[in-house]
Structure 1
Amino acid sequence: MSRVVIAPDSFKGTASAADAAAAVARGWHAVRPDDELVLRPMADGGEGTLDAFEAAVPASRRVPVTVRGPLSQPVDTHWLRLPDGTGVVELAATSGITLLDPLAPLDAHTAGFGEAIAAALDAGVDRLLLGLGGSAGTDGGVGALSVLGARFLDAERRPVRLGNRGLGRLARVDLSGLRPLPVGGALIVGDVTNPLLGALGAAAVFGPQKGADAAAVDVLDVNLARFARLVPGVSPEAQGAGAAGGTGFGLLAWGAEMGGGAALVAGAIGLARDLDGAAFAVTGEGRFDGQSEAGKAPSEVARLAAEAGVPVALVAGAITAEPRGFAASVALAELSDDAAAAMADPLRWLEAAGARLARDAARPTRSVGPRCPAPWADRTSG
């Protein structure tokens, strides 16, 4: 009997991290029923961050809340209260890209994220963990800050409209009315290190993933720059300022601190402890690409597994970059012979991947899967 740690991220828009882990486990157990499987759903600040904390922290409690979605539609969601008084709020669950179809890059906003934060503050949390990733818009966090008491005014001192489009008329920023941080502060949980502006900024890198064409990207960036000029004391070059459509910048202006993404989640759920003495590990995400090595969940699991001397396999919907550091890799698009079919029924193919890896466990250097693009569901992280 061997102990196997299964720690995937979500397959965004198609399978949660918890469901992905369970599917891989079913496949593995079908082949090797005597193995001990330890399921540790992972996240990097985006979709599934709240689920990862809930699965790992006993006595955590979901608190339901209804907020305005990215285009002000009602969204029934929740935040998570940890037993130590920490509140975990996930932007993807309140203002995320998966809540919006069709996309609206200039008009989507983060007001719902602010409403969930306000609900946690109203409940008396001592500390906030703010998961950034998977955002629908590029508003610099102005929607969230507006809910928390900031004022964003045009030349006639009228509130500007929500979304990036409103920033084009911004003339005055008043942060004096912002609610205070909780006593333990607020920590940003995210994997994005991009600055707010420019070629590596929120608009240029993540705007196209949110439906922005070249002309719209220029507008998004110009409007964010207008906002940044009116906010004293925070540099748009700060690492992570471009996270979640610039919400990182807005939260830094509130006084939040930039934390880690996958590394912070892995530490919180005790992943290194679980890997100690394990025979094998499995991780994964919807699309493994050139950004995956920059602090995303699979790379963090691989790093911790290497430190523990544990071989680790990668499962992804599509693999478009060389999966360095993995003993094996399986692409669902190849396993199913049809990327669309894999997207339509990811749990079936995740289960098949688990079975494939279990059969090959004695030969973990085998690599299965293409290095070609497929339209998998990891649409955005910023």
Structure 2
Amino acid sequence: MKILVAVDSLKGSLSSIEANKAISEGLLKANPDFSVQSLPVADGGEGTVEALVYATGGQFVDSVVTGPLGQPVRARYGILGDKMTAVIEVAEACGLPLIPKEERNPLFTTTYGVGELILEAIEKGCRDFIIGLGGSATNDAGVGMLQALGYQFFTKAGELAGLGGAALKEISRIDMGKVPDKVKAAKFRVACDVNNPLYGLNGAAYIYGPQKGATPEMVLELDEGLRNFANVVLEQLSTDLQSISGAGAAGGLGAAFAGFLEAELESGVKLILELARFEEQLQGVDLVITGEGKLDGQTSMGKAPAGIALLAKQHRIPVIALAGDISEGNPSLHESGITAYFTIVGGPTSLEKAMNPETTRTNLQRTGEQIGRVLQLF
């Protein structure tokens, strides 16, 4: 029997690679004659760099860039096996975990470091980019990133605009004269699974600002800035940022990538599975085992297990999904192609213990072994 193990990371516990390894060990313990192969996967968020680097035989690159509060931070990105494509998770340069909770303030946080990562990759010969949005601590419409790439934004007084969301309401003019040709020639594909507009009640500030530290008063100021920025871009560049589905993603980075860098905003899991050549990996496979930290109603809305199951379903391959937590009553999970799903938690326990990496590893090994023993009955 040939089994493909492709589990997303169990956030806070194990990476995709670690989870796959634990399940594979359990399966082989049940039957050493199983043919087990694994493939790291992600949905465009955490783990995207790791999944694509391993899937394509690429390499990791460690760098130091400007963090969300203007201080240097260490950030990792990847260069894929073709040596021409870079994969970047924006959270590496401007993510929420980089800032203590009491210091989070999207009026001041910047995406400047994301632009620095892009420039570094360009200097290393990359011309194509895969960008994973999500987890940002920012609400600057990607202006910080654009500033790092050579775009200049001026206030009515003729001064260069500052960094952070608070600077957006002061912007009145855009100058692209100093953007390098290499930046203009770069091609971007962006993993984006939200459709929020840039501003308004469903926009970046109102929907995501509070989780980034914004008070109600800050949300109003941030939204005003986003609206002003969009108006300036519309007047001067004839680009309607507000009409772009997903423009509000990652504090408006979606708008910057689509509106200034001509990026395609795409389903994260579809993009990652395409680049990892997942469909090719299904050839001759008898069973797919996938999963993530929690299976719920959101799983079928663009998460990795559902994307994997849909492709497997097209090839009539059964799919078992595993998770640490499974919410009750999810017919959508079966509709997406998941044949059966199981929790790996053996009994009542605390969340802290359940998410302990060693506990998770043991639970995955045990569950993998039990699945393997059942498979031998057929």
TM-score band by shorter chain is 0.7 to 0.9
Matched, 1:16 2:15: yes
Specify every segment of 5 or more residues in structure 1 that has no aligned partner in the other structure, as ranges. 365-382
Q: Contact 1:9–1:283 (CA<8 Å) still a contact in 2?
A: yes
Aligned to 2:359: 348
Q: Give the Å deviation of 1:335.
A: 4.9
Q: Contact 1:6–1:281 (CA<8 Å) still a contact in 2?
A: yes
Q: Contact 1:50–1:90 (CA<8 Å) still a contact in 2?
A: yes
Q: Contact 1:280–1:310 (CA<8 Å) still a contact in 2?
A: yes
Q: Contact 1:47–1:93 (CA<8 Å) still a contact in 2?
A: no
Aligned to 1:66: 64
Matched, 1:252 2:263: no
Q: Deviation per CA, 1:288-344, whole angstroms, max 9, x where unpaired?
A: 44433222212211111211222223333433472612233334567562212223x
TM-score (norm 1): 0.84
Q: % of aligned pairs identical?
A: 34
Residues 221-300 of structure 1 mapped to structure 2, 5 A cutoff: 221-232=223-234, 233-260=239-266, 261-300=268-307
Q: Which moved more, 1:182-191 or 1:115-124?
A: 182-191
* Secondary structure in 2 matching 1:41: coil
- Structure 2: distance between partners of 1:176 and 1:47: 35
Q: 1:333 to 1:220 in 2, by over 3 A?
A: farther
**In the comparison of the two structures, how many residue pairs are matched?**
361
Q: 1:254 to 1:347 in 2, by over 3 A?
A: farther
- Structure 1: distance between partners of 2:360 and 2:25: 11
Matched, 1:312 2:330: no
Q: Contact 1:26–1:351 (CA<8 Å) still a contact in 2?
A: no
Q: Given residue 352 of structure 1, which amino acid in structure 2 is its aligned partner?
A: N
Aligned to 1:369: none
Specify every segment of 5 or more residues in structure 2 that has no aligned partner in the other structure, as ranges. none
Q: Give the Å deviation of 1:354.
A: 4.5
Q: Deviation per CA, 1:248-271, whole angstroms, max 9, x where unpaired?
A: 101122233214311111011121
Aligned to 1:81: 79
Of Structure 1 and Structure 2, the greater helix share is in 2
Q: Contact 2:270–2:307 (CA<8 Å) still a contact in 1?
A: yes
* Secondary structure in 2 matching 1:217: helix
Q: Give the Å deviation of 1:114.
A: 0.7
- Structure 1: distance between partners of 2:346 and 2:154: 52
Q: 1:243 to 1:13 in 2, by over 3 A?
A: farther
- Structure 2: distance between partners of 1:45 and 1:295: 10
Matched, 1:142 2:151: no
Q: Contact 2:196–2:245 (CA<8 Å) still a contact in 1?
A: yes
* Secondary structure in 2 matching 1:125: coil
* Secondary structure in 2 matching 1:153: strand
Aligned to 2:108: 107
* Secondary structure in 1 matching 2:243: coil
Q: Contact 2:28–2:372 (CA<8 Å) still a contact in 1?
A: no
Q: 1:142 to 1:183 in 2, by over 3 A?
A: closer
Give the RMSD, CA atoms, in angstroms: 2.6
Q: Which protein has the larger Cα radius of gyration, Structure 1 or Structure 2? A: 2
Q: Give the Å deviation of 1:234.
A: 3.4
* Secondary structure in 1 matching 2:37: strand
Q: Given residue 20 of structure 1, which amino acid in structure 2 is its aligned partner?
A: A
* Secondary structure in 2 matching 1:309: coil
